[in-house]
Each structure stands twice: as structure tokens, then as C-alpha cells.
Amino acid sequence: MKTIKGPAIFLAQFMGDEAPFNSLEGICQYMANHGYKGVQIPAWDDRLIDLEKAAESKTYCDELKGKVAEFGLEITELATHLQGQLVAVHPAYNSMFDAFAPEEVHNNPKARTEWAINQVTMGAKASRNMGLDSHVTFSGALLWPFVYPWPQRPAGLVEMGFKELADRWRPILDAHEEVGVDCCYELHPGEDLHDGISFEMFVEELGGHKRANINYDPSHFVLQALDYLDFIDIYHERIKAFHVKDAEFNPTGRQGVYGGYQGWVKRAGRFRSLGDGEVDFTGIFSKLSQYDYDGWAVLEWECAIKDSDQGAAEGAPFISDHLIKVTERAFDDFADAGVDEAGNKKILGLD
């Protein structure tokens, strides 16, 4: 077994217009002061990284890693969630998702898709130049408006959607294979890859592509009433990244999984700071350790109630308390009788 690394934190939710949240140095110092050892970098924020330069220059990446190391931190992964979202966008969401892309591709879905594919491909190359083995992202969605089967979906619609999604991602995943980096999809409502079955359908369409992997985040499974511990038993071989995020699901006679169009505070399912929700992190860390996950435990802080500074301060010790230093010997070694093959035969009555 292997020991999980941590605590680390995803920086996306903390970036802002004022110090210390508006620069790499400022936010690294802030997170180091809170006890974090690693940071996950949102690759769409040019205050933190120049993705194109990182994809082209190992020297630039070494310099960036050096800046982060000055604060006692490591870069855990690069994240391209916003760019990955734009690899596949249903027309119903065109205007809303254009904001994730540069103005020159607004109102031009084809150009936006090409831009997104190039961005995520650069994410793979930049990750390798950083010396990283995993890269986290979203899948995008063509089928999300049809996730509930009413009106009845036309025959072949789902199959066509997954074929198109796989066709768009195959060259990106091949680029990941070329540089030896795993592409880890965060299975998330709003993405065509949002649970185990949808991920399986995608991987099957890709012929089992080994670089199509998972960024495990139990909070999204709580909100779907999915068994997030059983998920680890089923998909542990594909889990190559881990977001530590809490959530709670409190259905009532008025609302359930779909939330009744309410904002986050009033939804039955909502994200919470670590320890304030219902996720069984003791079970999760135990299972991931059991299955030899040796990547980072990265806090993705999102909470409808608690302030982000308190969430960050509480997150590092929470993760540290759940890290398991795995054993290097069996607990009952003291009772090892040391019987050899001949002795075993004698015990079984085979001599």
C-alpha cells in the first residue's frame, strides 16, 4: 500500500482582485500559512500560469515550480476545467459558456471548440514539463439537456452524443498518452461524464483508452444519491486524482435531487466546508489507501454558508487528520510460525 500526499488545495475558488489573492506569490504565502503542502493550479488564470509558455518551455515550468517551492509548496496538478467544458457545448448553453473563452471565439462554436481542444492538449504538455503525471478537467456536454428521459429520447441520440464526445477527446487523450500524463475527468452534473455509468460509456466508445481517468470528488455523488464508497471499489484503477470536498443532501417533502430551481443555500443538496457535510472521509481515505492511491488529497473549497478564509484554515488540518501512514508490515507478524513448504504439507496431511 501507498500513502496519500497532502494536504493540498485547489486555488480557483480563492483567486480575486485584491492581495493576497491576485498573484501567485500572494496566494502561495497565504496557503502555506494555513499549512498546505501543495497547490492545484487553474490553468485558465494567467496570474498563476501562462499555459502556452508552460506547454512549450520546461525552463519556464522549472522557474514556476521554483517560485512555488519558495513557500514550501508543490504543484499537484494543472486544471483545465473551464477549457474542458468547452470541448463540447450544447447550443442551449452557447451564450453562457462563451464567457469561458476569449472574445475572438465568441459566437463561433466551431472556433471555440478548436480553441478548447488546443488548450486541454497544452494542459497535457505543460503537465509533463512540470513533471506531473495527472491533469484534471471537465468533459463538456452535448447530452446534458436530455439527462432526464422526458420527452422520450429518440433512438440513437445518446449513442451519437457519446460517439461525438469521444471523437473530440480522442486526439486530446492521444496527446496525453504521448507525454505519459493521465487525463482525469471530474465527474460532475452538467457534464456528460457525471457518474460511473456515463464514464464507462465514454471509455467504451474510446476503446478503453488508458489515459481516460477520474478526478474523484465525492461531493458530486452525494448530490446524486450515489454510493461514493462503492464507486471506489468499482473504479479505483481509474482514480488518478482526488478532490476532497464535502456536501450534504437533505431532501424534504418539497424538494430533492433537482433542487426546485433554488439557489445553493436553499437547495436540498449543497456543498459544505470540510467536516460540515455528511461525506464519510474516514471511509474514503481508507479505501483509497487500500487500493494504493498515492496522489494528492486536494481540497476544493466550496460552501454555501461558511467564509472561504475559515474554510481554508480548517481544511488543511482536516485533511492531515485523515491521511493514513500505511503500514509496512502485517499487524500479526509477531505470530508468524515461519513454516516452510515441507511443514505446510505436513499440516495438510500431504506428506
User: Are the CB atoms for 7 and 35 separated by under 8 Å?
Assistant: yes
Q: Cα 191 vs. chain centroid, distance in angstroms?
A: 13
Would you place residue 351 in the very low, low, confident or very high pLDDT band (cuts 50, 70, 90)? confident
Per the CB < 8 A criterion, the answer to whether 110 and 159 are in contact is no
**By residue range, what is the domain housing residue 228?**
5-348
CB distance 268 to 250 below 8 Å: yes
- Counting the structural domains of the chain, the total is 1
Mean of per-residue pLDDT scores for the chain: 96
Query: Which amino acid belongs to residue 241?
Result: A
Residues of the chain with pLDDT > 70, as a percent, come to: 97
- CA 35, 36, 37 angle in degrees (round to 5)? 120
Q: Between these two residues, 291 and 336, which has the higher pLDDT value? A: 291
Q: What is the pLDDT of residues 112-122, one digit of tens each?
A: 999 999 999 99
CATH of the domain at 343: 3.20.20.150
Task: Tell me the mean pLDDT in the region 116-129.
Answer: 98
pLDDT in tens, 271-314: 999 999 999 999 999 999 999 999 999 999 999 999 999 999 99
**CB burial of residue 95 (10 Å; 0-12, 13-18, 19+):** exposed
Answer whether residue 334 shows pLDDT above 60: no
